[in-house]
Structure 1
Amino acid sequence: MNYHHIKIEQKGTIMIVRLHRPEKLNAINYPMFDELIHISHRIKNDRTIRAVILTGSGDNFSSGLDFNSIVKQKSHAIKLLFKLWPGNANKAQQVSANWRTLSVPVIAAIEGYCWGAGLQIVLGADFRIASPSANLSIMESKMGLTSDMAGSLTLREIMSKDKAMKISMCATQLDASTALDYGLITEIQALPLEAAIQLAHQISQTSPDAIAATKHIYNRYWNAPKWKLLAYESYSQIRILIGKNFIQAQYALKKKTLPMFKNRQRFW
């Protein structure tokens, strides 16, 4: 696929995915849904990638859904919402939920507006780094809608229910400091993209198998019954112990050198 509404940049083993409609404050139109879903599948199948960074072109992450462009063609709205099975993610939800299923960390670097659909997308990331001037909001209620892009999966994990309901019902605009207090973002940095790249490099120094296992343990079993969490911990550890990257880590510790990790196991 040729990407026209997102930009892809690879820095070694780090993939940067940039929403790219700066003239529209990176508002999300129908083709961008397709492109974001496509790149998420491409990354999932590439075991050489160690981290993903989501960001926007210009001075904003995204002003939200390009509502006018969607409603002009009712077939687009139908395609976004259609699903064969109620519990599966439809196209609208995949642009957030797909990042949670990857076996590599996903870091959102947020500047300026991060509203509505833009915020739903970054809620699919594992870490959210915002600039001091960032402005975040769940805007759907202002358009007479409810949030329906899978961001609620993350909201229930990072915020209290009453605060999540309040900012969703009131379409509250949050500055970076308040968003940090609410747990909506991970940290505030003057240069969020540079901070995201630094974090990605830091994570990339550890075993890709251990990182994948940790992400899946937390995302799949954080709220699961105790026995499921313990079982998956043990299962993941066994898979790590029999893999080549565990041997690399032990060799590096013994020799006091940096480990030369192989690509992530196919298991993840």
Structure 2
Amino acid sequence: MNYQHLQVEQEDNILIVRLHRPEKLNAVNYLMFEELIDVSRKVKRDHTIRAIILTGSGDNFSSGLDFKSIMKQKSQAIKLLLKVWPGNANKAQQVSANWRGLSVPVIAAIDGYCWGAGLQIALGADFRIASSRANLSIMESKMGLTSDMAGSLTLREIMPKDQAMRLSMCATQLDAKTALHHGLITEINDKPLEAAIELSKQLSQTSPDAIAATKHIYNRYWTAPKWKLLAYESYSQVRILIGKNFMQAQYALKKKTLPMFKNRQRFW
């Protein structure tokens, strides 16, 4: 995968996607929006990938939206916001929402600035590991805007409503300890990328079908009515039971060996 503003590399079955505009502190311009959408769609079809890590080049995750670049060509702003159906994600929202929809775990490794659009992208990840020097902010209100990149899907699951509203309305900058206190990040580690790789390796030791089912249960039905959550749990379990990876897990337990998992089932 060759991109202008992303660096994409694969280590075994772990894909590392790096926001790459270091001269702009990895600020997100229109081309980066398109490239992030493209890589997320390609990964969705690749059943060999077991985990994805999102990070930034240099010492920062992302300083947010490159507002000047976008507004130089008003057509770009229109393309980002345009949607055929109101309930679907537009391009601005897909750079966060697409990661939630994947069947593999996504981990954001955060260092330095993680502001505005950068934080919205990170909120699309399932886990966020930040260094002690990380600085996080829902920055859009400073530009006279509301956050509209689908990060709210995650915020409503991890934070009380009043706290999320306060952070969004005041554009509060949070250090790593405060972000952890609010549930905005998963853990603090001064080597976030190395920690993300280690977590990816741990997750890769589990059945990819079980991982996919768990992610979809939590992301799709965490706030759903009770009957929907219970129904999808049962549906997912049946799908797992008919797969080869369940048999691999059972065989490994019986023989006390490491399981040799296949690629995840095609319907995840």
Q: TM-score with structure 2 length normalisation?
A: 0.99
CA offsets 1:113-150 (integer angstroms, 9 cap, x no match): 00000000000000000000000001100000000000
Distance (whole Å) between structure 2 residues aligned to residue 121 and residue 245 of structure 1: 31
Q: Compute the displacement of 1:190 (Å).
A: 1.1
Q: Quick one: distance in 1 between partners of 2:168 and 2:85? A: 26
Does the alignment pair 1:88 with 2:88?
A: yes
Alpha-carbon separation, structure 1, partners of 2:112 and 2:21? 14
1:139 equivalenced with 2:139 (yes/no): yes
Residues of 2 paired with 1:82 and 1:3: CA distance? 24
Report the secondary structure of 2:177's partner residue: helix
- Cα distance in structure 2, aligned partners of 1:159 and 1:233: 24
Residue 96 (structure 1) shift: 0.2
CA distance in 2, matches of 1:208, 1:225: 26
What secondary structure is seen at the aligned counterpart in 1 of 2:203?
helix
Superposition map of 1:69-218 within 5 A: 69-218=69-218
Q: Name the CA distance, whole Å, in 1 between partners of 2:219 and 2:267.
A: 16
Q: Distance in 2 between matches of 1:267 and 1:45?
A: 10
Deviations 1:32-89 (A, max 9, x none): 0000000000100000000000000000000000000000000000000000000000
Mapped to 2, the partners of 1:2 and 1:14 lie a distance apart of 17
Q: Indicate conservation of the 8 Å contact 2:99/2:106, yes or no.
A: yes
Aligned partner of 1:234 in structure 2 is 234
Q: Give yes or no for contact 2:60–2:110 (8 Å, CA) kept in 1.
A: yes
Q: Number of matched residues?
A: 268
The answer (yes or no) to whether the contact 2:54–2:106 under 8 Å persists in 1 is yes
Task: State the Cα distance separating 1:2 from its structure 2 match.
Answer: 3.4
Offset of 1:232 from its aligned partner? Answer: 0.5
Structure 1 residue identity aligned to 2:73: Q
Deviation at 1:227, TM superposition (A): 0.6
Quote the sequence identity (%).
Answer: 83
Secondary structure, aligned partner of 2:8: strand
Q: Is structure 2 residue 264 aligned with structure 1 residue 264?
A: yes
- Residues 27-66 of structure 1 correspond to what in structure 2 (within 5 A)? 27-66=27-66
Instruction: Name the SS of the counterpart of 1:7 in structure 2.
Output: strand
Q: Which runs of 4+ in 1 moved over 3 A?
A: none
User: In the alignment, which residue of structure 1 is the partner of 2:23?
Assistant: 23
Any idea what SS the aligned residue of 2:136 has? Answer: strand
SS in 1 for 2:15: strand
The aligned residue for residue 6 of structure 2 is 6
**TM-score using structure 1 length:** 0.99
User: SS in structure 1 opposite 2:233?
Assistant: helix
Runs of 5+ consecutive residues of structure 1 not aligned to the other structure = none
Distance 1:191 1:140 in 2: 28
Structure 2 distance, partners of 1:87, 1:239, is: 28
Query: Do the aligned partners of 2:107 and 2:127 also contact (CA within 8 Å) in 1?
Result: yes
RMSD: 0.6
What is the distance in 2 between the residues matched to 1:173 and 1:206?
36
Asked whether the 8 Å contact 2:136–2:179 carries over to 1, the reply is yes
CA distance in 2, matches of 1:173, 1:90: 27
Question: What is the distance in 2 between the residues matched to 1:161 and 1:240?
Answer: 35
Aligned counterpart, 1:246: 246
Q: Distance in 1 between matches of 2:171 and 2:251?
A: 52
Distance 1:136 1:122 in 2: 10
Find the aligned partners of 2:229 and 2:145 in 1 and give their Cα distance: 35
